[in-house]
Amino acid sequence: MFGVPELDEGVQKGLFYRYQDLAPQLVPLDYTSCPDVKVPYELIGSMPELKDNPFRQRIAQVFSDDGDGHMTLDNFLDMFSVMSEMAPRDLKAYYAFKIYDFNDDGYICAWDLEQTVTKLTRGELSAEEVSLVCEKVLGEADGDHDGRLSLEDFQNMILRAPDFLSTFHIRI
């Protein structure tokens, strides 16, 4: 859908070492010989820094090829470059949308939002409260009143807020 921007040579190298670090026993240093190696999600998800992050699994799923969270080096690089500042706004919005779209149906529906809210609130809200929040969120952003957010709705809503996507990137 969008072209993911190419990364610098140096950055790629750094990321590769990081990738290799994640699973030294799986990923050989000479990567070119076996380009299909995947780092299983279990390894990524069990990183100590990530254990409190509610979106770790979802992110891995979105960026992995078949949605199972197992990442190839390409996926890994893509993930970084989408989050880099070179990536166009639309691309970021698209990936953000995909992260929200838990059931991969191309729309953010109430169920997707409930997943998000539950994750964000770490289960501290009751189901009732979560659904109230979701209703409100949907109501705010649902431009065509079909009870779910299309990518277009989502982009409109995101772009309406200033500095929203402009801060949605990382630097190394």
- In whole angstroms, how close is the CB of 105 to another protein at the nearest point? 19
Under the binding rule (CB under 8 A), the answer on residue 9 touching another protein is: no
- In whole angstroms, how close is the CB of 66 to another protein at the nearest point? 18
DSSP string, 82-126: HHSTTS-HHHHHHHHHHHH-TT-SSSB-HHHHHHHHHHHTTT-S-
Which window, 2-10, 14-22, 24-32, contacts another protein (CB under 8 A)?
Answer: 14-22
Under the binding rule (CB under 8 A), the answer on residue 46 touching another protein is: no
Under the binding rule (CB under 8 A), the answer on residue 171 touching another protein is: yes
Under the binding rule (CB under 8 A), the answer on residue 21 touching another protein is: yes
**106 to 135, contacts with another protein by CB under 8 A?**
116-117, 120-122, 124-129, 132-133, 135
- 134 residue type, one letter: C
Helix (H, G, I), strand (E, B) or coil at 161: coil
| Residues listed for the chain | 172
CA 158 to each of CA 90, 140, 149: distance values in angstroms, whole numbers, following the listed order: 10, 12, 12
DSSP string, 62-84: HHSTTSSS-B-HHHHHHHHHHHS
Calculate Rg over the CA atoms of the chain. Answer: 17
Under the binding rule (CB under 8 A), the answer on residue 141 touching another protein is: yes
**Contact set with another protein (CB under 8 A):** 15, 18, 21, 44, 47, 49-50, 52-56, 59, 76, 79-80, 83, 85, 96, 99-100, 116-117, 120-122, 124-129, 132-133, 135-137, 139-141, 145, 157-158, 160-164, 166-172
